Structure 1
Amino acid sequence: MNQLQRASIPQSATDLLQKARALDALFRGQSALNESQGRLTADTFSALRESGLLGFLVPECFGGAEASTTEALEIIEAVSYSDGSTGWVLMATQVCTCLAAACLPAAAAQEIFENATPVIAGQGAPNGRAVIAESKDGGKGFRLSGNWSYGSGILHSDYIHSGAIVMENGAPRMRADGSGPEIRTCIVPTSKATMEGNWEVMGLRATGSVNYSIADAFVPADFTHAPEAVQRNRGGNVYAIGIIGMTTLGHTGFIIGIGRRVLDELAIIIGDKPPGRGGSLAPLSATQGYHEGFGHAEARYRSSRAFVFDVWGDLQRCLDRGDAPSTRQITLIRLALNHATSEIAEVSTWAYKMAGGAALRESALQRCFRDVYAGTQHFLVSPAVLQECGRELAGLAKGMAWTLLGLRK
């Protein structure tokens, strides 16, 4: 567990963006060591904590910056540009941390956040069983057990956020509207979990996103919240986007940050390449095909990023008015993430091929390529989500609303 602390003076999102950019050299310099350890180095994590970046989405009442959605995108983008794994850990832990801070009942939120800014990570999929129970002193709660995969950033956490189906009298308790089993997100100290240590992966190697299990841990009712919570107990309207919006926000900042780095690294590699064997071949930097390809790749990247900030800007204006986001606005932010991920993955493939042997060997470009493709495997950018976006945009989902996995009545 990390030593909890809070930045002595709350900082604005603008201040934190400047700090994120100022830490570029440190984050770059730690990248290879991060990967070799399978988690962020102590220097990397200390920089995140001491700078205040681990609180950029935390409500102001708990010392955070409570960044707007567009401000948050820029912060995640900046850190992911420097190092993909660092950006991923930052965005994944901020999603879990900020929702706990905004949505937990007062007693639990005060206990967790009053004197420190913790790191909360985990897996929200309802792979656990939350059996209704009482503590020894009669407090209401749940006995939590289960196994979860892909606990994004969990090796860096103080608390774990885990999804579970509520069990009553040996069977799932149904939601009041009859739409399915009741699900709760349970917040427990990381010490109550067993880490599986199985993070042998192609990309995002330093995120420490291992599988984990919890066996019969008592969770007070106040330390749980609804998984798709948009009903906040504190903080501003940014938390009205809930887990769906926050996860989409985090993954979007990651992909546009690392996508920019891919093209910048390629430009450095090709600019430094000497002519071919015996000078008989022109350097790639002198060929029209490379020039055309780079222009096309740059256009694909920039148009994807512009789409991202267009739809998030519209959503942020909605939040600034105090309104809840519409189904169409959620569709468009999810579509922008899916589109940016697809475009940047293809741009990364082209960049990898253009770099030749330099990309085959250990390098920043190779690491970015692997991290991009690791990101493409997340369910948020799956064909199923793209299909649901198309269904809603085609007018075939009247009266439906978004869940993490798709649209439903």
Structure 2
Amino acid sequence: MTSDTALLAQVTGPESGADMVHRAIDMNPIIAAAAPRIDAEREIPEDLFAQLAGAGLYQLLVPHAFGGSELDPPVFLQVVEAVAKADASTAWCIAQTAVCSMAAAYLDPAVAREIFGSPRGVLAWGPPSLGAKAIATPDGYRVTGAWKFASGSRQATWLAGHCTLCDADGAPRTTQDGRPIERSMLFRRTAATITDVWHVVGLRGTGTDNYAVSDLFVPAAYSFGRDAVEDRQYPSALYRMSMFHMFAAGFGAIALGIAQATLDAFIQLARSKTPMLGKNLLSESSLVQSQLGHGQAQILAARTFLLQSVHDMWEGAVGSNITLGQRAAMRMASTYAIHQARDVVNTMYHAAGATAVFESNPYERRLRDVNAVTQQIQGHYSLFEIVGQHLLGMSPNFKLL
């Protein structure tokens, strides 16, 4: 059974979910052929984006009501992993903007349809920024702020800025326990100043730029509170899933796709390469055989844990009862998947010898990409500390958990 066949065998969603996994797999040769260009140009080329959008790969989590696939989370992860086998930057942009598109469930339907009603309707955003403010007016907000890390922003038609909500005098509005109230402001990409800062080692093609607006008017209907129950207008269980957790799970799936593709490439190499000063093929080495067996076990174990934890949390969402234990398991699984994937890629890279250092071979880019995945907050090893606090009955950071 090939790794792609194994993916399809695990699809538990409706027929449309399996169709989307098939589409992602069918697109792989096109994405893989474009991967060197994506890496060199530091963005997804327009011709590839048009094909991806046309295949519905930018509407994976958009509600059915607005023309999207509204995939069950376990199926979404399998689509993302399939794309990551061909190119991690492409998968990253698809996963990141897909989770952003969950905003559609929190907006007035007319606004959601305006933003997401086209296959090319893409929303991107970066994390909250200190100093970003939305000052209330009678019919909306005056928004000023600067944000970083907007992956997928070069394909986006809309951006969002997460802001502290302020009264007319600039004083922050707070919750009953004194925390500032955050609200996300949506505006067209053309209204923002974009700064190209994405000169990096890995995930080079994500175009993760900075953006800013100053005193921009945003109508009230173009704002929402992320994961805010009072703003949710679409009843599907998908939108009871935390966006933060969906980001985490998606990035775990990307890391696993990178690892599986690296291991598959090494299998092909091992069957044909005789190391310098050696007499036998790599495939005849007992060490290489053990490394391959262990590496595949790492990937399968991490993937099974990730899919099971997401499935369990999904069942909780369907029943309107996501538990803290389910959140902790999903946090463990996503972070664990990222680190296991990095270990597999590092092992395969080293085992490939000097072959791995050439840009013409797939190893060096995947090594850069998987290590870039580990550097963002969803892959930080300290997240295990938060899970440990939960296991000890302590009070961890609930948002991160």
TM-score by length of 2: 0.91
CA, structure 1 residues 324+224, in 2 after alignment: closer, same or farther (shift >3 Å)?
Answer: farther
Quick check: 1:337 aligned with 2:369? no
2 CA distance for matches of 1:116 and 1:51?
8
How far does the alpha carbon of each residue in 1:308-346 deviate from its partner, in whole angstroms, 9 at most, with x for none? Answer: 1121122222233x3231111111111101111111111
Read off the aligned partner of 2:301 and give its amino acid letter. Answer: S
Identify the match of residue 67 of structure 1 among 71, 93, 116.
Answer: 71
- The Cα of 1:294 is off from its aligned counterpart by 1.5
CA distance in 2, matches of 1:285, 1:152: 39
Q: How does 1:118-137 map to 2 (within 5 A)?
A: 118-134=121-137
Q: 1:21 to 1:128 in 2, by over 3 A?
A: farther
**Equivalent residue for 1:161?**
160
**TM superposition shift of 1:82:** 1.4
Partner of 1:80: 84
5+ long unaligned stretches in structure 2: 1-14
Partner of 1:3: none
Q: Aligned residue for 1:364? A: 362
Matches within 5 A, 1:73-152: 73-97=77-101, 99-114=102-117, 118-134=121-137, 140-152=139-151
User: Shift of the alpha carbon at 1:228?
Assistant: 3.5
Helix, strand or coil for the counterpart of 1:143?
strand
| Aligned sequence identity (%) | 29
Letter in 1 for 2:327: I
Q: Report the alpha carbon displacement of residue 391 of structure 1 after superposing the two structures with TM.
A: 0.8
| Counterparts of 1:312 and 1:145, CA distance in 2 | 36
Q: 2:276 matched to 1:276?
A: yes
Q: Give the structure 1 partner of residue 4 of structure 2.
A: none
What's 1:251 paired with?
Answer: 251
Letter in 2 for 1:79: V
- Aligned partners of 1:323 and 1:259: how far apart in 2? 34
5 Å matches for 1:166-315?
166-168=165-167, 169-175=169-175, 177-230=176-229, 232-277=232-277, 280-315=278-313
Contact 1:161–1:188 under 8 Å retained in 2: yes
Correspondence for 2:51? 47
Task: Tell me how far 1:173 sits from its aligned partner.
Answer: 1.4
CA distance in 2, matches of 1:117, 1:41: 14
Counterpart position of 2:62: 58
How much does 1:179 deviate?
A: 4.2
Deviation, 1:47, is 1.4
Which of 363, 378, 381 aligns to 1:380? It is: 378
SS in 1 for 2:92: helix
1:121 counterpart SS class: strand
CA distance in 1, matches of 2:235, 2:83: 24
Q: Distance in 2 between matches of 1:396 and 1:241?
A: 23
* Coordinate RMSD, CA, aligned: 1.9
The answer on 1:395 being equivalent to 2:393 is yes
Which has the higher mean CA deviation after the structures are superposed, 305-314 or 107-116? 107-116
Equivalent pairs counted in the alignment come to 384
For residues 93 and 64 of structure 1, do their structure 2 counterparts lie closer, same or farther at Cα, with a shift above 3 Å needed?
same
Decide whether the 8 Å contact of 1:338 with 1:382 is kept in 2.
Answer: yes
- Is the 1:77–1:253 contact (alpha carbons within 8 Å) kept by the matching residues of 2? yes
2:45 partner letter = T
CA–CA distance in structure 1, aligned partners of residues 248 and 118 of structure 2: 29
| Matches of 2:127 and 2:43, distance apart in 1 | 21
CA pair 167-133 structure 1, distance change in 2 beyond 3 A: closer
Q: Which amino acid aligns with 2:96?
A: A
Query: What's the offset of the Cα at 1:111?
Result: 3.3
CA shift for structure 1 position 151: 0.8
- Does residue 323 (structure 1) correspond to residue 320 (structure 2)? The answer is yes
Rounded to whole Å, the distance in 1 between the matches of 2:190 and 2:145 is 15
**Contact 1:304–1:336 at 8 Å: present in 2 too?**
yes
- Alpha-carbon separation, structure 1, partners of 2:329 and 2:135: 38
Distance change (3 Å), C-alpha of 1:230 and 1:63: same
Q: Is the 8 A contact 1:129 1:167 kept in 2?
A: no
Q: Distance in 2 between matches of 1:116 and 1:381?
A: 30
Structure 2 CA distance for partners of 1:128 and 1:219, relative to 1, 3 Å = farther
Shift of 1:44: 1.6
Amino acid at match of 2:87: D
Secondary structure at the counterpart of residue 396 of structure 1 = coil
Q: Which runs of 5+ in 1 are unaligned?
A: 1-10
Is the 2:255–2:342 Cα contact (8 Å) retained in structure 1?
Answer: no
SS of the residue 2:198 aligns to: coil
Deviation at 1:54, TM superposition (A): 1.2
Whole-angstrom CA distance in 1 between matches of 2:189 and 2:24: 27
Q: Is the 8 A contact 1:262 1:348 kept in 2?
A: yes
Question: CA deviation digits over 1:378-404, x for unaligned, max 9?
Answer: 11121332211111122223xx7721x
Deviates more, 1:246-255 or 1:79-88: 246-255
Question: Take 1:108 and 1:180, find their aligned partners in 2: how far apart are those partners?
Answer: 29
Change (3 A) 1:128 1:72: farther
Of stretches 291-300 and 268-277 in structure 1, the one that deviates more from structure 2 is 268-277
How big is the shift at 1:221? 1.5
SS at match of 1:155: coil
